[in-house]
């Protein structure tokens, strides 16, 4: 059992949980994830580690209450316990020798992008950040991003924060003003694909973090397979980070839609408390 130390609601749908997990906190690296079960009847839920504190023995996750299991998790509070957690899983993000990096997050994907940006900043790499949200009310981690980033641009679809547009608009502008060694893009699939098409003509290496259907997290079930450079890869052991210019995004979209009807049914039951 893993105790919830802190719970914060970041926006109407997104929650931050700091969880006591001493062994995981001592081993985790940026880009890695955990798999948890809310209770003994819960499904295995993969979530990227947004932050960690080895001294305190805790890891932090940021969760959007959108599916059956995340809605169930959102009902837990400080002092409650999560049934079980396994991790850290996946390969750590490989930054190579990048000197100037632009990290792009979309929606709750910003929580996944943030630890990479933080790690780079702490290791004296120049980091710019771009984050995109539907509106001002949905913005998360704004202060945290501004602390670590050399330049931070937050975009909203409706312009309610004064910067109307998409993350691609901001990236195109910032690429005109800066020479990046690496771009990291994490968020909805259409956003990651659009970012890759922005960086492809400039031949800037672009890393994306993929979120296919995942079950066991060890590469045995095959549920998280993706096509990269024409080859089958498994996001849980070969990723979740991949070269975005080599990812078959059409295949990824199709696979992620496989259980859309079933997920919708379970989500409705969760909202009804069943």
Question: pLDDT digit string (tens) for 227-273?
Answer: 999 999 999 899 999 999 999 999 898 877 765 665 555 556 555 66
Residue 36 is predicted with a pLDDT of 94
Q: Is 267 annotated as a binding residue?
A: no
Asked whether residue 269 is assigned to any structural domain, the reply reads no
Structural domain containing residue 14: 2-89
Question: pLDDT digit string (tens) for 155-211?
Answer: 999 999 999 999 999 999 999 999 999 999 999 999 999 999 999 999 999 999 998
Residue 11 sits in a domain whose CATH number is 2.40.30.10
Question: pLDDT digit string (tens) for 19-60?
Answer: 999 999 999 998 899 999 999 988 899 999 999 999 999 999
Residue 211 is predicted with a pLDDT of 83
140 near 50, Cβ under 8 Å? no
Q: Is 122 annotated as a binding residue?
A: no
Q: Please check whether residues 69 and 119 belong to one and the same domain.
A: no
Both tokens of 7, joined, read 């719970």
Q: Please check whether residues 56 and 139 belong to one and the same domain.
A: no
Q: Please check whether residues 214 and 135 belong to one and the same domain.
A: yes
User: For residues 31 and 118, what is the distance between their CA atoms, to the nearest angstrom?
Assistant: 12
Residue 258 is predicted with a pLDDT of 66
Asked whether residue 28 is assigned to any structural domain, the reply reads yes
Residue 132 is predicted with a pLDDT of 96
User: For residues 225 and 55, what is the distance between their CA atoms, to the nearest angstrom?
Assistant: 35
Domain count, the chain: 2
Residue 67 is predicted with a pLDDT of 85
* Weakest-pLDDT range from 110-114, 127-131, 164-168: 110-114
Q: Please check whether residues 109 and 193 belong to one and the same domain.
A: yes
Q: Residue 105's pLDDT band (boundaries 50, 70, 90)?
A: very high
SS (H, E, C) 152-192: EEEEECCCCCCCECCHHHHHHHHHHHCCCCEEEEECCHHHH
- End residue of a domain, out of 57, 89, 121: 89
- Following CA atoms 156, 157, 160, 162 in sequence, which dihedral angle do they give, to the nearest 10 degrees? 60
DSSP codes joined into one string, the chain? -EEEEEEEEEETTEEEEEEE-HHHHTT--TT-EEEEESSTTPPPEEEE--EEETTTTEEEEEEE--SHHHHHHHT--TT-EESEEEEEESPPP--TT-SEEEEEEEGGGHHHHHHHHHHHHHTT-EEEEEEEESSGGG--SHHHHHHH-SEEEEEESS-TTS-BS-HHHHHHHHHHH---SEEEEESSHHHHHHHHHHHTTTT-EEEEE-----SSSSSSS-TTEEEETTEEEEHHHH-SEEEGGGB-HHHHHHHHTTTHHHHHHHHHHHHTT-
Q: Residue 77's pLDDT band (boundaries 50, 70, 90)?
A: very high
Q: Is 102 annotated as a binding residue?
A: no
Q: Is 63 annotated as a binding residue?
A: yes
Residue 216 is predicted with a pLDDT of 81
Q: Please check whether residues 79 and 124 belong to one and the same domain.
A: no
Q: Please check whether residues 70 and 137 belong to one and the same domain.
A: no
Residue 212 sits in a domain whose CATH number is 3.40.50.80
Q: Please check whether residues 49 and 135 belong to one and the same domain.
A: no
Q: Please check whether residues 197 and 122 belong to one and the same domain.
A: yes
Residue 273 vs residue 3, higher pLDDT: 3
Q: Please check whether residues 15 and 81 belong to one and the same domain.
A: yes
Residue 223 is predicted with a pLDDT of 83
């Amino acid at each position: 059992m893993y105790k919830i130390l802190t719970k914060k609601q970041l926006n109407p749908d997104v929650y931050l949980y700091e969880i006591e997990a001493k062994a995981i906190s001592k081993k985790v690296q940026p880009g890695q994830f955990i798999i948890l079960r809310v209770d003994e009847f819960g499904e295995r839920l993969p979530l990227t580690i947004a932050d960690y504190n080895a001294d305190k023995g805790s890891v932090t996750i940021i969760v959007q209450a959108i599916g059956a299991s995340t809605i169930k998790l959102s009902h837990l509070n400080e002092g409650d316990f999560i049934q079980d957690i396994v991790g850290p899983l996946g390969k750590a993000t490989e930054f190579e020798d990048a000197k100037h990096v632009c990290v792009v997050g979309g929606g709750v994907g910003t929580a996944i992008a943030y630890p990479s940006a933080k790690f780079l900043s702490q290791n004296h790499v120049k980091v710019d950040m771009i984050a995109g949200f539907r509106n001002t009310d949905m913005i998360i981690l704004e202060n945290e991003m501004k602390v670590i980033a050399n330049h931070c641009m937050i975009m909203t679809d409706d312009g309610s924060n004064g910067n109307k547009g998409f993350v691609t608009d901001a990236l195109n502008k910032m690429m005109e003003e800066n020479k990046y060694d690496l771009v990291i893009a994490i968020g909805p699939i259409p956003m990651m694909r659009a970012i890759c098409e922005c960086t492809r003509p400039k031949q800037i290496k672009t890393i994306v973090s993929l979120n296919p259907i995942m079950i066991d997290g060890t590469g045995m079930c095959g549920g998280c397979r993706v096509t990269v450079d024409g080859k089958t890869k498994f996001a849980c052991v070969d990723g979740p980070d991949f070269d975005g210019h080599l990812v078959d995004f059409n295949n990824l979209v199709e696979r992620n839609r496989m259980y859309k009807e079933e997920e919708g049914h379970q989500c409705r039951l969760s909202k009804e408390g069943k």
